[in-house]
Amino acid sequence: MKIVTYRTNRNSIPRTGVLVGRSVIDLNLAYVLFLDENSSEKKAYHEADSEMPVEMTDLFYSDSLNNGKARESIDFLVSKVDQESGIKAPRGEEIVHRLGDVQLMAPVLKPNSIRDTISFEGHMKNFEKRTKKPIPDMWYKIPAYYKGNPSTVVGPDAQIEWPGYTEKLDYELEFGIYIGRKGKNIKAAEAQKYIAGYTIFNDFSARDAIQREVSVFLGPSKGKDFDTGNVMGPCLVTPDEINPEDLEMEARINGKVWSKGNSSDMYWRFPQIIEYVSRCETLYPGDFIGSGTICNGCGDEMDRWLEPGDVVELEVEGIGILRNQVSRERY
C-alpha cells in the first residue's frame, strides 16, 4: 500500500490515507465503515480510533499495517464503492477524496529522529575523484551516519527556503525508511520486520557551509540544519510492494534530468544499517533512516548548482515523485 498523510480544505487536521489510483481513501474512516457492518456506530468509531489512528506514528504503534487490518478495510471499501456512489462514513464524513483536492504532507510530519547514511559506493568514489582523497577503509567496515533536525521536515510541493548564508544550495537524491516497531540490538536477519515502509528523501545541503564546518572536524551543522531542509514523501510504501535493492532513481531540475541511477549500488543495505544503529540504542516507531545520496545524485558531484526558483523533482520507482520549488528569495 501507499500510505499518505494528507489534509483537505475543509479539515486542516492531518490524517492518514491510502493512495488508490487518483484517489485518497481515509484509512481511519474506511475502518469505521468496515466495523460498522457488524457493530454499533459508537463502537466502530471507538475501535477505529484505537486500531487505525489518524496520525502516522500512532498507526505504526497500532501495528495495523502489519496485521492485515488496514488492507482488509481498504479492500472492503473498494468493493462498496463499486456498488454505491458517494459512499460516506456513518456520521456523514467523506471517505474518498480526489487526489487533486487534498494536500499531501510528509508521511511522518515530525520523525522522532533523522539518521542519514553514506551508503552508495558510487557516490563515495565520486567524492574520491573530486577531493583526491581515498575512500576511508572504515567506510567499508561501518555504515556511518549523521543526525538531522526533525523540526525541519516538509513534504511534497512545499517551498524550500534558500538560506542567506549559502551560495551553493544542493539537492540530494535519496530514499529512506521509517521504523515501525520498537527495538534494540536488532540483528540484520530480523531487521526487515522493523521497517514500516519506504519514502523519497531530499536532503538539501548548503555545500559551502559544509566545507567550512568539516574543516574543524564537526558537522554538518548549518550545512544541513535550516528550515525546510529535509523533504520526505510523497507517500510511504509498505515493504510488501517494493524491492529496495532494484529501484530506478532520477532527479530532474526544471524538467531536465540531472541525476539518474539505481539503488543496486547501495553498499550498506537497510538491515545492516538497522543492526548498527540499534546497538545499545532503542529505535522507536517514527524514526527515519536515509540511504544517503546515490551515485551522481547531487549537484556537488557534477559542479552543477541550483538557482533560486528552480523546481526539483526526485522520482523513485515504486514510490512516486517528490516535487519542490526553491524560493526566489534568500532567508
Model confidence over 62-76: pLDDT tens digits?
A: 999 888 888 888 888
The whole-number pLDDT of residue 9 equals: 86
The whole-number pLDDT of residue 219 equals: 80
Kindly report the number of other CB atoms within 10 A of residue 79's CB atom: 9
pLDDT over threshold 80, residue 24: yes
pLDDT over threshold 70, residue 175: yes
Task: Calculate mean pLDDT across residues 124-139.
Answer: 88
The whole-number pLDDT of residue 83 equals: 57
Alpha helices (runs of H) in 176-311, residue ranges in sequence order? 207-214, 270-277
The whole-number pLDDT of residue 37 equals: 86
Least confident among 150-154, 163-167, 218-222, 245-249: 218-222
Residues ≥6 apart with Cβ < 8 Å to 20:
74, 78
Task: Calculate mean pLDDT across residues 257-271.
Answer: 96
Beta bridge partners of 25: 18, 96
Higher per-residue confidence, 128 vs 122: 122
pLDDT over threshold 70, residue 178: yes
Q: How sure is the predictor about 78, in pLDDT bands with cuts at 50, 70 and 90?
A: confident
pLDDT over threshold 60, residue 130: yes
3-state secondary structure of 252: strand
CATH class, range 114-330: alpha beta
What are the sequence ranges of the domains in the chain? Answer: 2-105, 114-330
pLDDT over threshold 80, residue 14: yes
Least confident among 61-75, 137-151, 281-295, 311-325: 61-75
Rounded Cα distance, 121 and 268, in Å: 9
Residues ≥6 apart with Cβ < 8 Å to 187:
275
Task: Calculate mean pLDDT across residues 90-95.
Answer: 93
Chain centre to alpha carbon of residue 39 = 36
CB contact at 8 A, 177 and 270:
yes
Model confidence over 199-208: pLDDT tens digits?
A: 999 999 999 9
E-assigned strand segments in 173-295: 173-179, 183-184, 195-203, 205-206, 230-237, 248-253, 256-262, 282-283, 288-290
Residue type (1 letter), 28: N
Rounded Cα distance, 257 and 126, in Å: 19
The whole-number pLDDT of residue 17 equals: 95
What would the DSSP string read from start to end of 124-142? Answer: HHHHHHHHS-PPPGGGGTS
The whole-number pLDDT of residue 84 equals: 58
Rounded Cα distance, 251 and 261, in Å: 9
Model confidence over 207-261: pLDDT tens digits?
A: 999 989 988 888 889 999 999 999 999 999 999 999 999 999 999 999 999 999 9
The whole-number pLDDT of residue 331 equals: 86
- pTM, rounded to two decimals: 0.95
Higher per-residue confidence, 291 vs 66: 291
Q: 236-267 burial, b for 16+ CB within 10 Å, e for fewer?
A: bbbbeebebeebebbbbbeeeebbbbbbebbb
Q: What is the CATH number of domain 2-105?
A: 2.30.30.230
